[in-house]
């Protein structure tokens, strides 16, 4: 999948990551040598994880571990009450990385 296709796909995923930031994550993941793993701290609903995944798939297929409590920040909790994004994250990863 190209950068343009990845950008179009990730625009459907809620998050704050900009297109330029996503392109950088894609290129960094693509250029990994395949030794070790990519660890993402804070994946929210998966926008950045899909960028990383698509880049890794175009490169050496380095494994990615996304870490997030999926309960939102204190601001999210104050605004929306209880927050739980894990199911949406999993769906976004399935859709984003299977395309």
The reported pTM is: 0.92
List, in sequence order, the alpha helices (H) in 1-99. Answer: 3-10, 19-30, 47-58, 74-80, 86-98
Mean pLDDT of 57-81: 89
Other Cβ atoms less than 10 A from the Cβ of 29: the count is: 23
Q: Which two tokens stand for residue 34?
A: 């395949």
Question: Given a cut of 80, is residue 87 above it in pLDDT?
Answer: yes
Question: Given a cut of 80, is residue 80 above it in pLDDT?
Answer: no
User: Do the Cβ atoms of 41 and 49 come closer than 8 Å?
Assistant: no
């Amino acid at each position: 999948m190209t950068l343009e296709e990845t950008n179009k796909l990730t625009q459907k995923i809620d998050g704050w990551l900009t297109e330029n930031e996503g392109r950088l994550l894609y290129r960094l993941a693509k250029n990994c040598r395949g030794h070790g793993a990519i660890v993402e701290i804070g994946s929210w609903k998966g926008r950045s994880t899909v960028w990383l995944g698509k880049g890794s798939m175009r490169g050496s297929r380095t494994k990615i571990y996304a870490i997030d409590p999926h309960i939102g920040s204190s601001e999210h909790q104050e605004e929306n009450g209880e927050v739980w994004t894990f199911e949406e994250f999993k769906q976004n990863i399935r859709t984003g990385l299977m395309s």
